[in-house]
């Protein structure tokens, strides 16, 4: 996955250091970004010594151990813990991903954990996704059809297969927050996550609003801020290809009379 350049620790003040109290000889240092914008405190990095002999295999397990046994003030999102909900998306070792699927054994040296880059921080590792959700709502991610629901709206296996690699998106924002175009134009550019979802409905054979859906994204800022950097595809924890979906939308617009 692509490496994201985050602020050096020297630019963020050093915070508290929590020494291990178990006497374990198998310790790892975990550096966690801490900031509460509702206070006058500045962002800091707190360091925790973690007993790895009593910690399961994922980064989320480390955060749970910190919160449950060391520092209950730590704030982060988590829910399913199985890579399905996307709640625990964050930046680990300079790479965006899901804390519940990221093995801490893959990280060499100290473990550095930050919130997703270029989002407004609500607290600690929690980024503000309200803009992303509004953009998602703007593409109207639901089936539009004039048919009366008297029977099942059937779809051929061939048409159904076109949705593979699209419907699996969990809107974790790992891709959008790895995209430089989204960093600088996030208020106007829809970003890879939302455009992937838009394409999912554009090519659904059961949907009757394809032309209008294409019109909605046919905008210099909404769509064409994508410069095919490919960070999004490299960052997706589900192995999806948002860049390809965006390219397909551009191709459809280029060959249509919209």
For 1-55, write each residue's pLDDT tens digit: 344 445 444 468 889 999 999 999 999 999 999 999 999 999 999 999 999 999 9
257 has a pLDDT exceeding 90: no
Same domain, 118 and 147: no
Q: Is 93 left (phi over 0), alpha (psi -120 to 50) or beta?
A: left
DSSP-derived 3-state class of residue 243: helix
- Tell me the pairing of strands 111-114 and 27-34: parallel
Per-residue pLDDT at 235: 97
Same domain, 64 and 113: yes
CATH of the domain at 221: 1.10.1060.10
At residue 167 the predicted structure's pLDDT band, cuts being 50, 70 and 90, is very high
Domain assignment present for 58: yes
- Of the spans 6-15, 146-155, 247-256, which averages the highest pLDDT? 247-256
Last residue of one domain, picked from the residues 104, 127, 150: 127
DSSP-derived 3-state class of residue 209: coil
Total number of domains constituting the chain: 2
Same domain, 37 and 50: yes
Contacts of 37 (CB under 8 A, 6+ apart): 121, 122, 123
Between CA 138 and CA 30 the distance in angstroms is 39
Same domain, 87 and 173: no
Selection from 116, 125, 154 nearest residue 67 by Cα: 125
pLDDT above 70 as % of the chain = 96
Domain assignment present for 107: yes
Between CA 162 and CA 197 the distance in angstroms is 13
Between CA 236 and CA 96 the distance in angstroms is 8
Mean residue pLDDT of the chain comes to: 93
Per-residue pLDDT at 258: 72
Same domain, 40 and 79: yes
Same domain, 47 and 162: no
Domain assignment present for 4: no
Phi, psi of 36 (to 5 degrees): -120, 100
Report which of residues 148 and 153 the model is more confident about: 153
Q: Residue 76 sits in which domain range?
A: 9-127
Selection from 139, 169, 143 nearest residue 154 by Cα: 143
Strand partners, 121: 127
Same domain, 113 and 153: no
Instruction: Give the mean pLDDT of 77-103.
Output: 97
Give the distance from CA 100 to its chain's centroid: 13
Same domain, 19 and 112: yes
- Per the CB < 8 A criterion, the answer to whether 186 and 192 are in contact is no
Last residue of one domain, picked from the residues 127, 157, 177: 127
Per-residue pLDDT at 12: 80
Same domain, 42 and 105: yes
Residue 114 burial by Cβ neighbours in a 10 Å radius (0-12, 13-18, 19+) = buried
Same domain, 113 and 169: no
Note the pLDDT tens digit of each residue in 181-197: 999 999 999 999 999 99
Per-residue pLDDT at 1: 39
Instruction: Give the mean pLDDT of 90-105.
Output: 97
CATH of the domain at 103: 3.10.20.30
Instruction: Give the mean pLDDT of 152-172.
Output: 95
The terminus-to-terminus CA distance of the chain in angstroms comes to 36
Strand partners, 112: 31
- Per the CB < 8 A criterion, the answer to whether 205 and 143 are in contact is no
């Amino acid at each position: 996955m692509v490496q994201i350049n985050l602020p050096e620790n020297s630019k963020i003040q050093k915070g508290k250091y929590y020494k291990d109290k178990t006497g374990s000889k198998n310790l790892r240092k975990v550096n966690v970004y801490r900031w509460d914008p509702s206070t006058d405190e500045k962002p800091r990095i707190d360091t925790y010594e973690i007993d790895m002999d009593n910690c399961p295999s994922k980064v989320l397990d480390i955060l749970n151990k910190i919160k449950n046994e060391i520092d209950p003030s730590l704030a982060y999102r988590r829910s399913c813990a199985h890579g399905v909900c996307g709640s625990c998306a964050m930046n680990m070792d300079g790479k965006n991903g899901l804390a519940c699927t990221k093995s801490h054994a893959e990280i060499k040296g100290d473990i550095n954990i930050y919130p997703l880059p270029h989002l407004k921080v609500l607290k600690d590792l929690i980024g503000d996704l309200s803009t992303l959700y509004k953009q998602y709502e703007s593409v109207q991610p639901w089936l539009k059809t004039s048919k009366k629901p008297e029977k099942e709206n059937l779809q051929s296996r061939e048409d159904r297969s076109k949705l593979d690699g699209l419907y699996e998106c969990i809107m974790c924002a790992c891709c959008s927050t790895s995209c430089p175009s989204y960093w600088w134009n996030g208020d106007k550019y829809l970003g890879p996550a939302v455009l992937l979802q838009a394409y999912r409905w554009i090519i659904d054979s059961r949907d009757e609003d394809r032309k209008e859906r294409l019109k909605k994204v046919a905008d210099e800022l909404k769509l064409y801020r994508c410069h095919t950097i490919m960070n999004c595809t490299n960052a997706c924890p589900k192995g999806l290809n948002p860049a390809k979906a965006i390219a397909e939308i551009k191709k459809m617009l280029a060959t249509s009379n919209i």
